[in-house]
Chain A
Amino acid sequence: MSGQQPMLQADGVTKTFQVGSRFRPGGIQHVQALTNVSLEVYAGETVGLVGESGCGKSTLGRTLLRLYDVNDGRILFKGRDITRLAQRALRPLRADMQMVFQDPYSSLNPRRRVGDLIADPLRVHGRRSEKEVQGRLHELMELVNLSPEFLTRFPHEFSGGQRQRIGIARAIALAPSLIVADEPVSALDVSVQAQIVNLFMDLQQKLGLTYVFIAHDLSVVRQIASRTAVMYLGSIVELGETDRVLHRPAHPYTAALISAVPEPDPQGNIRTRTILRGEPPSPTNPPPGCRFHTRCPIAQDRCRVEVPQLRPLEDQHSVACHFPLEEEAPGRA
């Protein structure tokens, strides 16, 4: 992949949010949601973003689409720097990069018919005749396995899985090359999740899509993502081929995260797990040095002062840790 030009590239992206108010105790505080994040996404692949809530995975997803402005760093889409592009100049690009949201219940306007919801992007972008729009609508419904007669119905008439299909139809309406999916299956019933994961994979094959797939469920990410980035407190701590990262993690945080995943194991037992103590520190006041050192089972003095940079190991696998885990002991954390 290295010889190829990435479709999307984030280069040292930093994003800070302001919270609080001058008029409230504590005053204005700054949350560093992303710290020096670099990520490359190549055409046709799926990059999984995983991590605990508040680790910045959703912020990164939105920043990649320029739904947020960055404080520092650059974002390149198909070789073009879009970091400072004005909204007007960005608009034609929007057709090429789309988003699927977590909650299909709140991302569809309840007062509008499904057909209109999906047709919106078609009508906004490009001059299509109404006949062309209708033709495309039928095509889209077929792609997401919904009956065309649903086009005249309202969102509340659908189940969660069907609504997510509608959200996906809307996202692919303009034949984008990149889709950022933010926890698209987390709000769905278990038996429906698998259908939607399959749909994502089918569409990728049929339409040659590139995905950034944000999820907290590692097993879903393993199923869909070719590469996976693990985030902790606003930074990517490990990045590599999904199975490499999940089966031979180099970062102690990744190892702990994997160990915490409950599996439907008939002989399962909580005592066979290594459990990470505590919770992620507050991003308004992150610890110095490695941000994980407060919970890390193998932290040394060096980790408390020096910030580890993401550095390559072998096989396009990189890790931000001073003392990456040995291959023999992936479950050491």
Chain B
Amino acid sequence: MPADMAVPSSGAAATPSPGTGDTLLDVRDLCVSFRSERGIIRILENASFTVGQREILSIVGESGSGKSMTSLAVMRLITDPNAIITGTITYKGRDLLKLDPREMRDLRGREIAMIFQDPMTAMTPVYTIGWQIEEQLRAHQKLSSKAARARSVELLGEMGIPAPARVATRYPHQLSGGMRQRAMIAMALSCNPSLLIADEPTTALDVTVQAQILELIQRLRQDFGSSVILITHDMGVVGTISDRVMVMYAGIIAERGPKPLVLAQPSHPYTLGLLNSIPPMHGERPVRLPSIPGSPPSPMGRPAGCPFQPRCDFRYERCGTRPPLFRNGAQEASCYLAERGLPDWPHERAIRAKGTAA
């Protein structure tokens, strides 16, 4: 494999995923840092990725991994004057980072829509659900208020809300969590966006309702032809609905590739550790769960070299310098063990158990 597949090299990293057509969103070398009293805090470092048409890309990571910051950057919702954002975010041929605020506002909601983890805080409590959906329709499409009302009720119905006309007259606090999440998805879809960014859309919901919402997101692609960026911390959610996965750790891309490959044969120790630490629903119960020691670093305390190295079972001397993304087939991982083919984890583990001295 050519070694120029590294992330920081601008250009080589982006490849369209198999089975999908054109690239809708192309993010290259996206860096987000904040100036603070304690110096520069690097949140996101050289993230490059693409989202194809009608593709569901899952971004997985723990707290502080930069996954939410990635989505906020794409939406141009980082308004902090201390934020420093570089790189390019090309959406349908236009660099979003270069658009003026008015152009961006025109795009936001119509072309790229977002749903958040907590619909209670994402909606205004003082207007009805129906009004909030209509507002979006009126802002982006020339619709009479009557037509907007009819469309918003229709949308609520399409989201599987029973008695949508009545729900449209309700205020957010009068609905259950699952209903609010549906209402927010209805709002996000009101203008047929090409790209939907869902930031932990099911984290606050029960599993039965989560399954309904995931099914709904899956249907969006069929019925509306939308692409989806799904941000989550739950490998189970990833396994359920995504086409491709991008695993983030401490502001960098640890691994990415088609979902079946990444989940079946992870090529980064962090992905492996995450998958192993999930208690299995079937088969034998492990006496102890294989866990990753320590906890994810805060953006201020990221280690030098590979950021996962202090928690990694497989670290060795090379980990002091930061690995680029190495490609193996459709899969890429920023780990030196993936430099020459997919790592054989049991063997690597055995090597380390024996020790290096002969």
Does B263 belong to the interface (CB within 8 Å)?
A: yes
Q: In the complex the two chains form, what is the Cα distance from A243 to B235 in whole Å?
A: 22
When the two chains form the complex, which single residue of A161, A246, A273, A277 contacts B281, counting CB atoms closer than 8 Å? A246
Question: Bound complex: CA of A264 vs CA of B288, how far in Å?
Answer: 19
Any chain A CB within 8 A of the CB of B212? yes
Given A190-B234, A279-B176, the answer on whether A266 and B239 have CB atoms closer than 8 Å is yes
Contact A266 B259 (CB under 8 A): yes
Considering the complex, give the chain B residue whose CB is closest to the CB of A262. B236
Q: Mark A251-262, 1 if CB is under 8 A from B, else 0.
A: 000001111111
Q: Are A262 and B208 in contact (CB under 8 A)?
A: no
B201-255 interface (Cβ within 8 A of A): 206-212, 214-215, 218, 233-241
B158-184, CB < 8 A from A: 162, 176-179
With A257-B208, A270-B214 in contact, do A222 and B264 touch (Cβ < 8 Å)? no
**Chain A facing B: main interface SS:** helix
Decide if B291 touches A261 in the complex (CB within 8 Å): no
Give the contacts of B254-292 with A (CB-CB under 8 A): 259-261, 263-264, 273-275, 277-282, 285-286, 288-292
Chain A residue with the shortest CB-CB distance to B292: A191
Q: Given the complex of chains A and B, what is the CA–CA distance between A257 and B273 in angstroms?
A: 26
8 Å CB contact of A194 from B62, B206, B240, B289: B289
Question: Complex Cα distance A197/B295, Å?
Answer: 15
Specify the chain A residue showing the minimal Cβ separation from B276: A194
Do B296 and A191 have beta carbons less than 8 Å apart? yes
Known contacts A219-B281, A275-B215; is-contact A191 B291 (Cβ 8 Å): yes
Residue of A nearest to B265 (CB): A266
- How many Å lie between the Cα of A278 and that of B162 in the bound state? 9
Q: Identify the closest chain A residue to B235 (Cβ).
A: A264
CB contact between B206 and one of A52, A161, A198 (< 8 Å): that residue: A52
Question: Cβ of B289 and Cβ of A190 under 8 Å apart?
Answer: no
Q: State A204–B311 Cα separation when bound (angstroms).
A: 26
A220 within 8 A of B: yes
Binary contact track A203-234/B, C-beta < 8 Å → 1, others 0: 00000000000001011101100000000000
Cα separation A256 to B210 with both chains bound (whole Å): 12
Contact B290 A279, beta carbon cutoff 8 Å: no
Q: Is A284 an interface residue (CB 8 A)?
A: no
| Complex interface bits, B115-154 against A, C-beta within 8 A gives 1, otherwise 0 | 0000000000000000000000000000000000000000
A265 within 8 A of B: yes
Q: Tell me, yes or no, whether B39 is within 8 Å of chain A by CB.
A: no
B239 touches A52 (CB 8 A): no
Which chain A residue lies CB-closest to B282? A247
| CB contact between A263 and one of B178, B179, B281 (< 8 Å): that residue | B281
In the complex, which range does the number of interface residues on chain B fall in? 35 or more
Tell me which residues across on chain A come within 8 A of B62, comparing CB atoms: 189-191
A56 at the interface (CB under 8 A from B): no
Task: Please determine whether A191 and B273 come into contact, CB atoms closer than 8 angstroms.
Answer: yes
Contact in complex: B239, A276 (CB < 8 Å)? no
| Chain A residues positioned under 8 Å from B321 (CB to CB) | none
B15 within 8 A of A: no
Say if the beta carbon of A135 comes within 8 Å of chain B. Answer: no
A262 touches B279 (CB 8 A): no
Complex CA–CA separation, A264 to B275 (angstroms): 7
Closest chain B residue to A202, Cβ basis: B288
> In the bound complex, do residue A279 and residue B209 qualify as a contact, i.e. CB atoms below 8 Å apart?
yes
Q: Which residue of A189, A246, A264 contacts B238 across the interface (Cβ within 8 Å)? A: A264
Contact A197 B206 (CB under 8 A): no
| B237 contacts across to A, CB distance below 8 A | 262
Given contact pairs A201-B288, A263-B236, A218 touches B281 in the complex (Cβ within 8 A): yes
The answer on a CB contact under 8 Å between A198 and B289 is yes
Is the C-beta of A35 less than 8 angstroms from some C-beta in chain B? no
A115 at the interface (CB under 8 A from B): no
Is A268 on the interface with B (CB-CB < 8 A)? yes
How far is B206's CA from A218's CA once the two chains are assembled, in angstroms? 11
Residues on A with C-beta less than 8 A from B259 are 266, 268
**What is the distance, in angstroms, from A164's C-beta to the closest C-beta of chain B?**
11
A195 touches B291 (CB 8 A): yes
Given contacts A193-B277, A219-B278, A219-B279, contact A262 B291 (CB under 8 A): no
| Contact in complex: A277, B295 (CB < 8 Å) | no
Q: Which of A162, A194, A259 has the largest count of B CB atoms less than 10 A from its CB?
A: A194
Measured in the bound complex, the distance between the Cα atoms of B348 and A189 in whole Å is: 26
CA distance A190 to B261 in the complex (A): 21
Chain A residues with CB under 8 A of B93: none
A300 within 8 A of B: no
Is A87 positioned at the interface, with any CB of B under 8 Å from its CB? no
A264 to B264, CA, bound (A): 9
Residues of B within 8 A of A279 (CB): 176, 178-179, 208-209
- B63 near A: Cβ within 8 Å? yes
**Which among A216, A243, A260 has the greatest number of chain B C-beta atoms within 10 A?**
A260
Query: 6 closest A-B pairs (Cβ-Cβ)?
Result: A262-B236, A194-B291, A194-B277, A223-B279, A268-B239, A264-B235
21 contacts between A and B (CB under 8 A): A52-B206, A53-B206, A160-B295, A191-B274, A191-B291, A192-B291, A197-B289, A216-B206, A222-B285, A260-B208, A262-B236, A265-B240, A265-B263, A266-B261, A268-B241, A268-B259, A270-B218, A273-B211, A275-B211, A275-B215, A276-B211
Chain B interface residues toward A at CB < 8 A: 62-63, 162, 176-179, 206-212, 214-215, 218, 233-241, 259-261, 263-264, 273-275, 277-282, 285-286, 288-293, 295-296, 311
Mark A residues whose CB is within 8 Å of B. Answer: 52-53, 159-162, 189-195, 197-198, 201, 216, 218-220, 222-223, 243, 246-247, 256-270, 273, 275-279
